[in-house]
């Protein structure tokens, strides 16, 4: 009886260790991993200029009573949050009074351009997905890990 119990516990511990190892080998994705493409950020920039720049400024450096979307202050307030939360905020609150008037794709593209504006790297890989659940797996980290 005691023996069986010990074996079961040991097996469970092994499974947990294996799962943990898998996670750390791959690591969680962050904005430093090249999570958008240059083309996407450029598309997003055009929408940003049309829809957001009147308040957030021609260079994302604040204006018209709206906070900066690029630079240390922005990075401080979003540090350790997910790209999903940023996407969600933009989609649900921006532009004020007209939230959700853009397509999910447009919001994702704008988020890509905001990431670019903060100096996070583009890559030749895949674009930033336009779904909150996928974006929740990508962490915003102000400092390179």
Are the C-beta atoms of 113 and 50 separated by less than 8 Å? no
* Rounded Cα–Cα distance for residues 74 and 35 (Å): 19
Are the C-beta atoms of 115 and 36 separated by less than 8 Å? yes
Out of 52, 112, 128, 139, which residue is the one contacting ligand HEC (CB under 6 A)? 52
**Closest distance to ligand HEC from the beta carbon of 114 (Å):** 7
- Is residue 62 part of the contact set for ligand HEC (CB under 6 A)? no
Residue 102, Ramachandran bin (φ over 0: left; ψ between -120 and 50: alpha; else beta) = beta
Are the C-beta atoms of 86 and 109 separated by less than 8 Å? no
**Closest distance to ligand HEC from the beta carbon of 61 (Å):** 12
- Is residue 70 part of the contact set for ligand HEC (CB under 6 A)? no
Q: Taking CB under 6 A as the criterion, which residues in 74-103 touch ligand HEC?
A: 74, 77, 86, 89-90, 94-96
Q: Taking CB under 6 A as the criterion, which residues in 7-46 touch ligand HEC?
A: none
């Amino acid at each position: 009886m005691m023996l069986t119990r010990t074996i079961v516990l040991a097996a469970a511990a092994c499974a947990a260790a294996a799962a943990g190892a898998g996670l750390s080998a791959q690591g969680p994705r962050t904005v430093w991993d090249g999570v958008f493409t240059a083309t996407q950020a450029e598309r997003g920039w055009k929408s940003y200029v049309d829809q957001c720049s009147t308040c957030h400024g021609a260079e994302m450096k604040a204006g018209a009573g709206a906070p900066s979307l690029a630079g240390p202050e922005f990075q401080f307030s979003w540090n350790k949050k997910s790209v999903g939360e940023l996407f969600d905020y933009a989609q649900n609150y921006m532009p004020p009074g007209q939230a959700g008037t853009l397509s999910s794709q447009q919001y994702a593209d704008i988020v890509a351009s905001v990431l670019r504006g903060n100096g996070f790297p583009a890559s030749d890989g895949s674009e930033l997905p336009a779904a909150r659940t996928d974006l929740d797996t990508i962490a915003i980290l102000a400092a390179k890990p």
